[in-house]
Amino acid sequence: MKARGTLVKITALTESSLIVHWCTPDHGIVKTVARGARRSKSPFAGKLDLFFRCEIEAAEARRGDLHTLRELSVEKPRLGLRRSYVETLAASYFVKLVTRVAEPETPLPEIADLLERGLDYLEENEADTRALFHFEKQLATILGIREPGTDPVDSLRDVFGSVPKQRAELMERIGGR
């Protein structure tokens, strides 16, 4: 499988390997194992970090949903998201919200595009309520759950039970901007 995607989650699997989740337009949320990625001489060294947009090649799993990451090239590291805690928090909220609403391995081109645009915006601009509300509104619209006259975050809460906890802290930090 070849795909372009944004790295949305990293988890340790063993002392030397990682489970890496990607948000891709054509394959949805995809889980890959990066064998040996935690070793200093790994071909993945320095290439696996949150919010990186990469081109990946993975061997599809024979059973289950954990594919083997073979190669990757970083297309956009989005280092600007690390310039302040607030931008990192906003990016984290966007990612967590998308992974909460997306079905694993189900194509989601509109949602993947929204995430890309949201992260690209945050890389260049300060996080603010306008960006947050726009992201939530667009996501609720794409999902077909936006109710006229209702705050989009309320629609998201109604359908998915809650929104990621980062939202409360993010609102507290950007509310005065």
The CATH number of the domain holding residue 39 is 2.40.50.140
**Residue ending a domain, choose from 76, 111, 128:** 76
Can you give the pLDDT at residue 16?
A: 94
HSE, side-chain direction, 13 A CA sphere, residue 62: 0
Total residue count of the chain as it appears in this document: 177
What pLDDT score was predicted for residue 175? 81
Nearest alpha-carbon partner for 130 in 109, 97, 158, 138? 138
Say yes or no: 54 and 87 in one domain.
no
**Which residues are within 8 A (CB) of 12 and not within 5 positions of it... i.e. 6 or more apart?**
18, 19, 38
Last residue of a domain, one of 76, 106, 140: 76
Which residue in 144, 165, 166 sits closest to 155, CA to CA? 144
pLDDT at 44: 95
Tell me which residue range forms the domain holding 72.
2-76
How high is the pLDDT of residue 103? 87
Are 111 and 29 in contact by the 8 Å Cβ rule? The answer is no
Query: Helices in the chain by DSSP H: which ranges?
Result: 85-101, 109-124, 129-143, 152-160, 166-174
Determine the pLDDT at residue 177.
42
* Residue ranges, the chain, pLDDT below 70: 176-177
Q: CB count, 10 Å around CB of 134?
A: 16
The structural domain count of the chain equals: 2
Domain boundary among 29, 60, 76: 76
Q: Residue 96 and residue 8: Cα distance in Å, rounded? A: 8
Same domain for 90 and 157? Answer: yes
Distance, CA of 21 to CA of 32 (rounded, Å): 6
In the chain, the amino acid numbered 54 is C
Where do runs of H (alpha helix) occur along 102-146?
A: 109-124, 129-143
